[in-house]
Amino acid sequence: MLQKPESGALPIPQAEREMDGSHDGETQPLTASQEMAPSPLLQESPEEDLGAVREEGASEPSLTPKGARALAAKTLARRRACRRLDRTVAELVQFLLLKDRKKSPITRSEMVKYVIGDLKDLFPEIIARAAEHLRYVFGFELKQLDRKHHTYILINKLKPIEHEEEALGGDGPRLGLLMMILGLIYMKGNSAREAQVWAMLRRLGVRPSKYHFLFGYPKRLIMEDFVQLRYLNYRRVPHTNPPECEFSWGPRSNLETSKMKVLGFVAKLHKKEPQHWPVQYREALADEADRARAGASVRARASTHLW
Amino acid sequence: MQGNTRRTGIMTDVHRRFLQLLMTHGVLEECDVKRLQKHCYKVHDCNATIEKLEDFINNINSVLESLYIEIKKGVTEDDGRPIYALVNLATTSISKMASDFAENELDLFRKALELIIDSDTGFASSTNILNLVDQLKGKKMRKKEAEHVLQKFVQSKWLIEKEGEFTLHGRAILEMDQYIRETYPDAVKVCNICRSLLIQGQSCETCGIRMHLPCVAKYFQSNSEPHCPHCNDYWPHEVPVFDPEKERETGMSRSNKRSLRSRQH
């Protein structure tokens, strides 16, 4: 089922190809480090393959053993050249997809430098085949931005779906669960005992170790994933016996949402206005003022300041 | 214009949207993949019967074959959850990461990866990784910065962190399988049962063979006296129980898991 490429490697630019020094802190396309295994494919000495095909005139295909061997060698060389071409097309497709994710236009010279290499005379064919793959397989159209500078972008041919992520519900249900927990934490004065969190969730039919069709294993999701992703903090409450633990907002929650937003969420749940909880409302207002004052660039500092 | 763009499978907008969204997420759990499939049908072909996921994916893979990529299914090493990712078949580098991280960040990952592969438990401590910060290629990185970079790796699902130690996320294991086998042929560990790359697992104290936790669970299922499949010695570790299908408590409390890990190697 898997087409195992003969040398087990896709062409990777060798160390010898100088990497642009100007890309100092910037991310490098595809492969950057000299330590990457140089592609065995490139080591196959490209001239050999295509040269062998060109050599046709030199020896006549005949039935003599020597002629038969020459013919076999030529066929093999041609096949290798084709396979190499296929792999270059495949790598160009991947390169274009990766570059497109960063929304930066791709130049022809980048493509030649990092993917096509010395097959650059075949650039028109390679890019045409890559474009066809992109269209048929992924639904992207490769468009040349301008003829003079040879820059390209990918255009998504699939119709955009509004709020696709929410409709998908991929992260949706889990983030919804997180909102419930953030809400509880906030309403309880910025920290909630672990027991309280599980009590609330139990009321929603969610039990810690029972597999849930939307959340997976809730205990793992909350105690590990959410904590690791810095949405929640989890710590031991000092001087409690038996020892109790509590949750509070993690730094990522402070960045991605706000007290006002969470209060709004809680209010909607209870079909009331945020002002219904004057203490929390005042605190949320103060939080909004702080954020406005701090501004985007020092937001990180501001959120820890709020604690 | 040609080329082998068409193989046995047929691509429709249902499949294309599925591929695009899977690429955006990088890696998805099976329940999310099923939901994704349903969503794509709803958008483009709401009257069609939804094909069985396995067939749906095989169909797409037959088209992807000529591009040397594949939707690969794996299983999380710690609790056997099926996951899916779009992986390069023929690459021997960590190229997918290369577009998202700077040179020194990639090198940090490589260092962490090496420590993880060399370790006995499949985990590398934060301290040990950070101590290698001076050896990184590219722009100089301070330890504080490196801590943030490690968190970036966790958030983009290349590493998992547990109690200050790092191991590979299922995504990395899926994507870098070949790279790891080729770069660290001597240090790499393989599961005795499924023969795939092994980072975390249990090992036999007598003969040294290793098995993934989900593979152990399946192999020793309802076997009250587990014995090593290789040397037949008594299997000294607690056999984990994972079963998302059955409606019962897993019985694996968090403290149990912790002691399980420390007893393993």
| Chain CA centroid to CA B174, Å | 5
Q: A209 vs chain B: nearest CA distance in angstroms? A: 6
Residues 196-255, chain B: which have Cβ within 8 Å of A?
Answer: 244, 247-254
Residues 73-102, chain A: which have Cβ within 8 Å of B?
Answer: 86-87, 89-91, 93-94, 97-99, 101-102
- The mean per-residue pLDDT over the stretch B21-43 comes to 90
Strand order in the sheet with A140-146: A106-107, A151-156, A140-146
Q: What is the CA radius of gyration of chain B?
A: 20
Q: Which helix (H) or strand (E) holds B236?
A: none
Residue B37 has pLDDT above 90, yes or no: yes
Q: A171 vs chain B: nearest CA distance in angstroms? A: 8
B28 in contact with chain A, both atoms CB, cutoff 8 A: yes
Does the distance separating the beta carbons of B160 and A132 come in below 8 Å? no
Please name the residue of chain A whose CA is at the shortest distance from the CA of residue B161. Answer: A228
Q: Which residue has the tokens 């490589």?
A: B110
Furthest-apart CA atoms within chain A: distance in Å: 99
Does the distance separating the beta carbons of B67 and A94 come in below 8 Å? yes
> Does the global pTM surpass 0.80?
no
Please name the residue of chain B whose CA is at the shortest distance from the CA of residue A229. Answer: B155
Q: Which residues of chain A have pLDDT under 70?
A: 1-63, 163, 165-172, 296-307
Q: Give me the half-sphere count of Cα atoms (radius 13 Å) on the Cβ side of residue A166.
A: 3
Q: A129 vs chain B: nearest CA distance in angstroms? A: 6
Would you state the structure tokens that stand for residue B30, as one six-digit string?
């099976």
Q: Determine how many CB atoms are found less than 10 A away from the CB of residue B105.
A: 25
- b/e code A84-101 from CB counts within 10 Å (16+ = b): bbbbbbbbbbbbbbbbbe
How confident is the model at residue A273, as a pLDDT?
93
B45 in contact with chain A, both atoms CB, cutoff 8 A: no
A67 in contact with chain B, both atoms CB, cutoff 8 A: no
Residue B198 has pLDDT above 80, yes or no: yes
User: Which residue among B1, B90, B101 sits closest to A27, beta carbon to beta carbon?
Assistant: B101
How confident is the model at residue B92, as a pLDDT?
55
Q: Which of A145-149, B70-74, B94-98, B141-145 has the lowest mean pLDDT?
A: B94-98
How confident is the model at residue A18, as a pLDDT?
34
Tell me if A70-156 shares its fold with A172-304: yes
Residue B260 has pLDDT above 60, yes or no: no
Residue B121 has pLDDT above 70, yes or no: yes
What CATH homologous superfamily does A172-304 map to? MAGE homology domain, winged helix WH2 motif (1.10.10.1210)
A33 in contact with chain B, both atoms CB, cutoff 8 A: yes
How confident is the model at residue A22, as a pLDDT?
36
How confident is the model at residue A296, as a pLDDT?
58
Domain ranges of chain A: 70-156, 172-304
Q: Which residue has the tokens 């419930």?
A: A180
The answer to whether the CB of B235 falls within 8 A of the CB of B217 is: no
- The mean per-residue pLDDT over the stretch B106-117 comes to 95
How confident is the model at residue A163, as a pLDDT?
66
Would you state the structure tokens that stand for residue A30, as one six-digit string?
């595809």
Mean pLDDT, chain B, whole residue set: 85
Chain B residues near residue A36 by CB distance under 8 angstroms: 92-93
Chain B residues near residue A174 by CB distance under 8 angstroms: none
- The mean per-residue pLDDT over the stretch B75-98 comes to 81
For residue A248, the cross-strand partners are A233
Would you state the structure tokens that stand for residue B98, as one six-digit string?
């290369």
Q: A55 vs chain B: nearest CA distance in angstroms? A: 25
Please name the residue of chain B whose CA is at the shortest distance from the CA of residue A166. Answer: B39
Chain A residues near residue B3 by CB distance under 8 angstroms: 86, 89, 129, 132-133
For A70-156, CATH number out of 1.20.1260.10, 3.60.70.12, 1.10.10.1200, 2.60.40.420 equals: 1.10.10.1200
What's the CA gap between A79 and A61, in Å, rounded? Answer: 17
The answer to whether the CB of A196 falls within 8 A of the CB of A180 is: no
Residue B265 has pLDDT above 70, yes or no: no
How confident is the model at residue A228, as a pLDDT?
79
How confident is the model at residue A19, as a pLDDT?
35
User: Which residue among B63, B90, B244 sits closest to A9, beta carbon to beta carbon?
Assistant: B90
Cα angle B155-B156-B159, degrees, rounded to a multiple of 5? 75
Q: Are strands B27-29 and B197-198 parallel, antiparallel or unpaired?
A: unpaired
Chain A residues near residue B61 by CB distance under 8 angstroms: 1
How confident is the model at residue A301, as a pLDDT?
55
What would the DSSP string read from start to end of A77-143?
HHHHHHHHHHHHHHHHHHHHHHHHHTT--EEHHHHIIIIIGGGGGGHHHHHHHHHHHIIIII-EEEE
Residue B13 has pLDDT above 60, yes or no: yes
- The mean per-residue pLDDT over the stretch B159-178 comes to 92
Chain A residues near residue B182 by CB distance under 8 angstroms: 8, 37
How confident is the model at residue B249, as a pLDDT?
36
Chain B residues near residue A138 by CB distance under 8 angstroms: 16, 19-20
| Measured CA distances, B263 to A63, B120, B260 (Å) | 70, 12, 5
φ and ψ at residue B216, rounded to 5 degrees: -60, -45
Q: Which residues contact B158 (CB under 8 A, 6 or more apart)?
A: B97, B109, B168, B169, B171, B172
B86 in contact with chain A, both atoms CB, cutoff 8 A: no
How confident is the model at residue B112, as a pLDDT?
96
Describe chain A by its helix, strand, coil percentages, rounded to 5.
55, 10, 35
Would you state the structure tokens that stand for residue A187, as one six-digit string?
């309403």
ipTM above 0.85, yes or no: no
Q: B233 vs chain A: nearest CA distance in angstroms? A: 33
